Structure 1
Amino acid sequence: MSNHNGRAAQILFHVIFLAFCLFTTIPFILTIIVSITNENSIVKNGYRFIPDRFSLDAYRLIFSSSEIYNAYTISIAVTVLGTLLSLLITSMLAYAIAVQKVKYRNVIALLVFIPMIFNAGLVPWYIFITKYLHLKDSIFALILPMLVSPFNVFLVRNYFKSLPPALMESAEIEGASPLYIFRKIIFPLSAPIIATIALFYALAYWNDWNLALWLIDSRELYPLQFMLFKIQSMINYMSSGGNYGVGSSTLPSDSAQMAMVLVTIGPIVLVYPFVQKYFIKGIMIGAVKG
């Protein structure tokens, strides 16, 4: 009887899991199909898995200007450089407040925690970034304001505190410096949490367009998300004023939105499989230990 119940429970689990996979996959498939659907067909029939007419007008419109390739370059550079710097500073700061021998570590932890609760507001932040740090219209304006996340710092700190203290103590007895211990022992043992926050930072840098809106004036420094925002604004403006091109061809508004989704998520989809195996372990240990 117990074997029968166990088999029934297993079948039910697989059915639920399959339904969940379909629930998450079908919208993505529909997004791909709509992005290559003729706009007139969308206007006439709505979103369909088997459209009347296919068209690549949305992708032609997005990639019609060379600026989109420059925006890709800017976004990749900002994401890679920003993620590396954020990982370095976050992990070193987390290590400093995780080691009990560090003086005033609780004060440092409090200073890190305060921004999670209180926010000075957008105007003081903007004045500080532009008048004191002089980051206006600079590529570093897309990196430095997001350099450290207090939430990620505490995730990494909790993971560091879960490591056996004997490892650090034995290294100290052998004469290893704190920097050597961090670089050769702590950091290599922390692959799960490092991969987890690397994904967090990469997603934040890749998807951000607010910093470009507030701080960037030069078109050559526009990141991908902001460039697509400008393209979408242009599409909406032109759609409200009539037809696109010649004849009865309608400006690809809906299909362009779906195409933009695919254009933006492509690199992240390629990166995620490499960190997925660390993600669950890192986020669980970093969240509950400490």
Structure 2
Amino acid sequence: MIQRSLSDKVMQVLIHFILLAFGLTCVYPFILTFMASISSEKSILDYGYQLIPKEFSLLAYELVFKDEFIYSGYTVSIFVTVAGTAMSLLICGMAGYAMSIKRVKYRNAVAIYFYLTMVFGAGLLPWYLVCTQFLHLQNTVLALILPGLVSPFNVFLMRNYFASIPSELIESAEIDGCGVMRTFVQIIIPLSLPIMATITLFIGLAYWNDWASALWFIDNPDLYPLQYMLFRIESLMSFVKQYGSMGDMTMPTETFQVATLFVTIGPIIFLYPFIQRYFVKGIMIGAVKG
């Protein structure tokens, strides 16, 4: 058994202390914000944010969930996030895999095509006209999915990761009679769980936090995603905060702002425990050219 010196023990204690302090620094604002969301408006205005509020109140959450459309917003957001993430992951994965195979003709030209879309853009108006006049996405749930379906950044991350997989594995699969799709599904995807989990997080967060697509394309309240509905409520609260209360009722504008934060991040935060062990490995390997 290796005996550690006194300096090693002191250094280990110091490292653990620094990590603990850093962890508490990250958790403290989250806890403080949550306690503010269950505080009364008067307590926030008089004493500010506190770990132990002077007066507790759930009025902010009651106002958030009082609107019946909030539940349809959850349904739309969950559907768009799940469907959009699955479709985008499949398309980006297939594009990245095709560009990672050296014998594929014009793969560099395709890579340049994807790269140009990261550097140059046609502008908001042509993009809007294509989505509404040619694709006819106005007031459809596809308007919340298709515009963000392909991300060149994610494609290049996956291409770099796939390029790091030994080509001998693909060749042996082809010798055994596997086609391109079977090789991709049964061999490449199981070997690419780190990058898949990382890209899933990127895509899922993008779809879940998207409210601008609904602002541009959706007029039907039944198709409003959660983020856009809370954006509208937040705008109303800002109006009330600026011009006064609504009737005889004092609106909890301060506590409402932090309550909407936890309403929106609640479901998506459960993804982290499942993909945390893949995240660091996936982003490092996918970002370095092999």
TM-score by length of 1: 0.96
Structure 1 residue 241: deviation in Å? 3.1
Instruction: Please say if residues 152 and 197 of structure 1, whose CA atoms lie closer than 8 Å, have aligned partners that are also in contact.
Output: yes
Q: Is the 8 A contact 1:72 1:223 kept in 2?
A: yes
SS in 2 for 1:175: coil
Give unmatched runs, 5+ long, in structure 2: none
**One-letter code of the match for 2:276?**
Q
- Matching residue of 2:55: 53
Per the alignment, residue 262 of structure 2 pairs with: 262
Alpha-carbon distance in 1 for matches of 2:230, 2:172: 53
Aligned to 1:90: 92
Instruction: Provide the residue aligned with 1:286 in structure 2.
Output: 286
2 CA distance for matches of 1:229 and 1:88? 30
Partner SS, residue 267 of structure 2: helix
Query: 1:170-209 alignment to 2 at 5 Å?
Result: 170-209=172-211
- Rounded Cα–Cα distance in structure 2 between residues aligned with 1:73 and 1:130: 24
Distance 1:179 1:44 in 2: 63
Mapped partners of 2:68, 2:87: distance in 1: 29
Matches within 5 A, 1:10-159: 10-159=12-161
Moved more, 134-143 or 173-182: 173-182
The structure 1 residue matched to 2:164, chosen from 158, 162, 165, is 162
Indicate whether 1:271 and 2:271 are aligned. Answer: yes
For 1:138, give the aligned amino acid.
Answer: T
Q: For residues 246-288 of structure 1, what are the alpha-carbon distances to aligned partners after superposition, in whole Å with 9 as ceiling and x for unaligned?
A: 3xx5211111111111011111111111111111111111011
SS at structure 2 position matched to 1:276? helix
- Equivalent position amino acid for 1:281 in 2: K
Shift of 1:233: 0.9
Aligned-pair identity in percent equals: 54
Deviation at 1:5, TM superposition (A): 2.5
Does the CA-based 8 Å contact 2:100-2:159 persist in structure 1?
yes
The RMSD of aligned alpha carbons is 1.4
Do 2:160 and 2:288's aligned partners in 1 also have CA atoms closer than 8 Å? Answer: yes
CA-CA distance at 1:239 after TM superposition: 2.7
**Which ranges of structure 1 fall in alignment gaps of 5 or more residues?**
none
Deviates more, 1:86-95 or 1:125-134: 125-134
Contact 2:33 2:49 in 1 (8 A): no
In the aligned structure 2, how far is the partner of 1:274 from the partner of 1:24?
A: 20
Provide TM-score, normalisation by structure 2. Answer: 0.96
d(CA) in 2 for partners of 1:94, 1:233: 41
Q: In the alignment, is the contact (CA less than 8 A) between 1:80 and 1:202 conserved in 2?
A: yes
Q: Distance in 1 between matches of 2:53 and 2:4?
A: 49
Letter paired with 2:13: I
Partner AA of 2:254 in structure 1 = D
How far is 1:8 from its partner?
A: 2.2
